[in-house]
Structure 1
Amino acid sequence: MSAVPPPSLDLGGIAVTWLADIPSMEFAPDDLLVPGGADQGPGGALDLTFGGYLISGDAGTVLVDAGVGDGKARSRPGWNRRSDGALPIALERTGLTLADVDTVHLTHLHADHVGWNTVWDGDAWIPTFPEAKYLALGDELDWGRVEYARDPGFMYGSYADSVLPLSERGRLEAVGDGFRIGDRIEVRAVPGHTPGSSAVIVRGRQETAVLSGDLIHHPHQFAHPLTCSRFCVDRAASAEARRGLLDWTARYGAILMPAHFGWGRVVAADGRFRFQPIVR
């Protein structure tokens, strides 16, 4: 792996850094996206990235989402029992250690967002970030508990190995819509992809960033905002939340930082959107 520091954007007094766990993975369009309304599906393979965003500022060090993780039994090829150590290595290249992370916020509980919550210590799954408090919206945690009780293999088994161990140790806290981490980081509810999905707004002195989680998976969805992920629990709500957040991002000139592709600006026109990537 390259020793180059991970890409970072200074918003003015607060920085957001991308920590890649899986830099690139191809998906067939039909395996990921479902066109809605008059929308058309994309052609060709979709290239996605997986990881988390590190926010550094007055509120300490906050990690938003935790990638796929290592050592986890997963049925999806490329996710199963990985041993890359990629996200912690990316963190180390920022000059920080696992113990320097103060807060981990989970935009939702899907397997590719909770993987580095825990690591295997030889006897049990323990928190990867020993000093961090872990957060998610209360609606998301309620949904996860119900689904796990119904199906112990829920979310490729990721609830059992990456969420439940935190709950059992009292390390996973429920927060509400509008919760703030310090003065500049705000959690917003954007239900639809999952019942308790959230986005994170980061306000710097010069720029505002919107960490959108899985509200949008691929640039195709800018021109086709009714197109949803196959993993959306409520597609109508997901499409409504996506259009609302993209409209807000465009109106306030914020920088969109999606979970599965690079960041950029959003331009709104006639109910659809155009993405202007920023090189990272």
Structure 2
Amino acid sequence: METAAPPTLDLGGVTVTWLEDIASMSFAAADLLPGDRDGAGTDLDLAFGGYLIADGVENVLVDAGVGDGKARARPGWNRRSTDALPRALARAGLSPADVGAVHLTHLHADHVGWCTRWDGEAWAPVFPRARHLALAPDLRWAAEGTARDPGFLYGSYADSVAPLIPHGRLDAVDDGHRLGGRVEVRAVPGHTPGSSIVVVRGTRDTAVLSGDLIHHPRQFAGPAVCSRFCVDPAASARVRREVLGWVAEHDAVLMPAHFGWGRVATDGDRFRYRPIPR
């Protein structure tokens, strides 16, 4: 029986907690980072889940993992029944009704899965009180892609995002949108047209929840290397350098979507990463 509280980082007046959905999945480096010639022939492990931001006023979930019960072509994602992310939320002392907002850094299937679950008749919101937010360009891109091909994004817009609309729970937001006084959404288009990061400013530290700006630590040494899922690799590489440079300059904590958080330092035209135990 799981009893341990999920890992939490206290930034001063605001905490960020990792809610794990999948602890580890292996991807061939050539499949995930096809431009990384040094990594050819190796396997890369990624984690999946979301981050809970709590400031004593509102609880904000950033990204919603893979989810349960969803038909997915990728093994390990298909028809899961683990209840993993809601269980992690419960270990943090909260229920889905305690979440006031869900911000989606982008609309890939592994970031939206727990927005809905099957209630026996339809896909219904998991977080019944929450506003679900994404940048407008991603919402347009996902809706238009799904209209052309229902299998677009593994079908995740159709079963995990669109069902929020009739419940009045889905809103488009713009670059610079603020969620309270300490949380700001910033646009970083490239991985998807409406990709974003979330900047959380505490009294002691600042954290950048980077979504899929960076997938794996190998990209610190090769920041021009993009994942094969990036719709605009040139833009993705550019914003990755810009954001990592900002994080290093401000000694902020980088909180990636698929591996553990840590500090970034510049090293010529590359970056070095120092994980913080969690």
SS of equivalent residue, structure 1 residue 180? coil
Superposed CA offset, 1:77-97 (max 9, x none): 000000000000000001100
Shift of 1:269: 2.0
Identical aligned residues as a percent: 67
In the alignment, residue 44 of structure 2 is paired with which amino acid?
L
For 1:229, what is the secondary structure of its paired residue? coil
Describe the SS at the equivalent of 2:277: coil
Aligned residue type for 1:202? V
- Deviation string 1:55-104 (CA, Å, 9 cap, x unpaired) is 00044000000000000000100000000000000000011001000000
Partners of 2:50 and 2:257 within 8 A in 1: yes
- Residues 204-243 of structure 1: pairs in structure 2 closer than 5 A: 204-243=202-241
Q: 2:113 aligned with 1:115, yes or no?
A: yes
> Structure 2, unaligned stretches of length 5 or more?
none
> Which residue of structure 1 lines up, in the alignment, with residue 271 of structure 2?
273
Matched with 1:9 is 9
Note if contact 1:20-1:86 (Cα within 8 Å) is conserved in structure 2.
yes
What is the TM-score when the length of structure 1 is the normalising length?
A: 0.97
What corresponds to 1:98 in structure 2?
A: 96
Alignment correspondent of 1:165: 163
Cα deviation digits, residues 19-62 of structure 1 (max 9, x gap): 000011111101211227xx743652101100000000044000
Map of 1:25 onto structure 2: 25
Aligned mates of 1:18, 1:100 — CA distance in 2? 16
TM-score by length of 2: 0.98
Which amino acid in 2 is paired with 1:222? Answer: F
Q: Which residue of 2 aligns with 1:125?
A: 123
Superposed CA deviations along residues 173-203 of structure 1, whole A, max 9, x for unmatched, are 0000010000100000000000000000000
CA distance in 2, matches of 1:251, 1:43: 34
Gaps of 5+ in 1: none
Q: Is the 8 A contact 2:30 2:41 kept in 1?
A: no
SS of the aligned residue for 2:39 comes to coil
Equivalent residue, structure 1, for 2:68: 70
Work out whether residues 213 and 240 of structure 2, in 8 Å CA contact, stay in contact via their aligned partners in 1. Answer: yes
- SS of residue matched to 1:222: helix
Pair 1:151 & 2:149 matched = yes
Task: Verify the 8 A CA contact 2:107 2:138 in the aligned structure 1.
Answer: yes
The 3-state SS of whatever aligns with 1:126 is strand
Cα–Cα, structure 1 residues 141 and 59, in superposed 2: closer, same or farther, change >3 Å? farther
Tell me which amino acid in the other structure corresponds to 2:257. Answer: A
State the secondary structure of the residue aligned to 1:53: strand
Of the candidates 188, 191, 194, which is equivalent to residue 193 of structure 1?
Answer: 191
Q: Is the 8 A contact 2:146 2:155 kept in 1?
A: no
Q: Is the 8 A contact 1:17 1:54 kept in 2?
A: yes
User: Cα offset for 1:168?
Assistant: 3.1
* More moved, 165-174 vs 186-195: 165-174
Q: Distance in 2 between matches of 1:50 and 1:3?
A: 20
CA distance in 1, matches of 2:224, 2:164: 35
After TM superposition, give the deviation of residue 142 of structure 1 in Å: 1.1
Match of 2:177 among 176, 179, 203: 179
- Give the paired residue count: 278
